[in-house]
Chains A and B, each alone.
Chain A
Amino acid sequence: MENQTNVDELSYREASTELEHIIRNLESGDMELEASLKSYTRGVELLRSLRGRLADAEQKVSVLMADIDGNDVLQPADAASTEDKPSFL
């Protein structure tokens, strides 16, 4: 409950893990009512965020390249082509 990070800053896995944790705690039923309400609110927030991410998921691809100084930097790259799907969809 403490030091909650902003939901959008969590990775999908972190958010998902936290949600599962919250649900288990709620299901165990030995939480204070206030705490459970707080948990529930957080859970709904996480759920909304996760749903949103699933709905708008876009593949992010980058390539690790050495720059002029020889340092590795991430360069955005094209996502996989969608050619395997019919174009009319």
Chain B
Amino acid sequence: MEGWNLTGTSSGSFIDFANAMADSEAAGQSAAGKDTDALSVSQAVEIAANALDAIPQLTVIGEVTGFRGPNARSGHCYFQIKDDSSAVDCKIWRGVYLKRAFDLRDGLQVQFTGSFDLYKPTGRMSFIARSFSLAGEGLLRQQVAALAEKLRREGLMDETRKRHVPVFCNRVAVVTSLSGAVIDDVKRTLRRRNPLVELICVGAKVQGEGAPAELIEALRRAAAIEPAPDCILLVRGGGSFEDLMTFNDECLARAVASCPVPVVTGIGHEPDTSICDMVSDRRCSTPTAAAESVAPALADLVEVTSTRERRLANAMNVRLAAAQDALGNDLQRVQRAMDARLERIRLTLEAAAARPCLTDPTVIVDRRRVELSQTAERLDAAIEHAHKRFAQQLELVTPRLRGATAGFSKKRHALELSTSQLRHVGASLLNAPHSQLASSAAALDALSPLKVLARGYSIAYAPTGVLTSIADARPDDEVRIALADGNVRARVTSVEAADNLNVDAADPAN
């Protein structure tokens, strides 16, 4: 039953298959087909299956189509691979698909390694892939993604390391092919937008063999320009994925990241993103956009300048007005202060002027004159008064003085009398003593030792007194011998008793 069904529904396929076989090694089999010894479908399919089994393992590149993911129940994958003119069913068993390096999806260019197989119940041929890997652009994209991830991990895409591109770049180096339309685009864009931007074109190959090295060298040369440009435009027009692969080069990406001058990229068209874009300091979707990003439009500058002109004038006016105000205020203050000061001085002056010494100077003299006349009056009165008093006192004293001296002549007479009486009495009183004294003096003169001494006697004095006895004298005593006309000092040499008396024997000591 299945055979019928199979024949009925798949006859077309079978004939196609048979025809295909006829072109290949199974040509002999087909030629042998006759009505008389016709084969059953099973037999024919068997022959075809054997023929397919005889084909060695193949590696096929094709685009995946009709992929719906692994079968929910079995986990196997059923889809087709095709190229421009052919397609074939393809199966990947669950175990193989589990070990995959990437997910299959429609449109991928994949390289499958496996062999053909014929499913006998339906007679359908399919390719059983035992392994598969990305091919062509798919492979490239995978490699690019891996490189991007690697550079991202290294931090080359960190926002923090992206340098600031000046809003208005005065000097811009353009690194691109000098022969393409891109350089003209950039020039024209900037000419229209802002001709003040100076452009320096640095030529380099932008695709194909050696392009990355040339671009790296061009970046180096551009950064070395003196004075250094404000930024470098790394641009390239649109192209196929392979064309743009130059800008996914690791060395070029590193050169962009390490370029001493900020790099602005504009590579390909809108959706294209290269690794150079990712590591550059500013990424623009196209060369034109990149050119536009490096400087403001001239019209904007004109407007900004006009605005600034107004602001400048305004600010200056405000400043001047403020200065004027300040000056006015200062002037007012000065005036007020001056007025106040003048007023104070005026008041002081007026007060001074109002004083009497200035208004009527004669007052001073008048007052002094009055004072003087009063004093003079007082003086006159005082003198008069004193005079009167002294006169009165004198008058009182005169009779008293006269009275006091009245008894003076009587007393003088009595005094004279008393004086003569006293003189007389005194003289009589002295007569008797006077004669007595004269007789005493004569007696005394007769008795004087001096008279004796004058006759040749002398008096000897020992230290104890007058020597009257030998008992009072000792040898070596110093004695004074008083004579009438002086003294002799002598030393006792010896003392002798009276029986041997010889006055002349006594040696004078000196």
A interface, CB within 8 angstroms of B: 11-13, 16, 19-20, 22-23, 26-27, 29, 31, 33, 36-37, 40, 43-44, 47, 50-51, 53-54, 57-64, 72, 74, 77, 79-82, 84
Contacts and interface: CB of A to CB of B under 8 A. Distances in A.
Given A12-B196, A43-B312, A63 B319 contact: no
Interface in B302-321: 302, 304-305, 308-309, 311-312, 315-316, 318-320
A74 B319 CA distance: 47
A12 B298 CA distance: 12
Interface of B: 166, 168-170, 173, 178, 184, 187-188, 190-192, 194-203, 221-222, 224-225, 298, 301-302, 304-305, 308-309, 311-312, 315-316, 318-320, 322-323
A19 B308 contact: yes
Given A13-B168, A64-B225, A79-B187, A29 B322 contact: yes
B319 A33 contact: yes
B312 A79 contact: no
Given A26-B312, A27-B311, A64-B200, 8 more contacts: A16-B304, A33-B323, A40-B315, A40-B319, A47-B305, A74-B225, A79-B191, A80-B191
Contacts of B168: 12-13, 16
A34 B169 CA distance: 34
B188 A81 contact: yes
B196 A57 contact: yes
Interface-central residue, A44, A57, A61, A82, by most chain B CB under 10 Å:
A61
A53 B301 CA distance: 11
Nearest to A72: B221
Given A29-B322, A40-B312, A63 B201 contact: yes
A13 B198 CA distance: 12
30 contacts: A16-B304, A19-B308, A23-B311, A23-B312, A26-B315, A26-B316, A29-B315, A29-B319, A33-B323, A37-B316, A44-B312, A47-B308, A47-B309, A47-B312, A50-B301, A54-B196, A60-B199, A61-B187, A62-B198, A63-B178, A64-B201, A64-B202, A64-B203, A64-B225, A72-B224, A77-B201, A79-B195, A80-B187, A80-B190, A84-B188
Nearest to A12: B196
B470 to A, nearest CB: 142
A51 to B, nearest CB: 6
Given A13-B170, A51-B305, A79-B191, A40 B316 contact: yes
Contacts of B318: 27, 29
Contacts of B322: 29
Contact of A23 (B191, B203, B222, B315): B315
* CB-CB nearest 9 A-B residue pairs: A26-B315, A80-B187, A80-B191, A59-B195, A80-B188, A57-B195, A11-B170, A59-B191, A13-B168
Contacts of B203: 63-64
A1 to B, nearest CB: 15
A12 B319 contact: no
B199 A61 contact: yes
A13 B166 contact: yes
Contact of B316 (A16, A36, A62, A63): A36
Contacts of A61: 187, 198-201
A15 B206 CA distance: 37
Contacts of A11: 170
Contacts of A44: 312
Contact of B298 (A20, A57, A62): A57
Contacts of A47: 305, 308-309, 312
A69 B170 CA distance: 29
Nearest to A65: B203
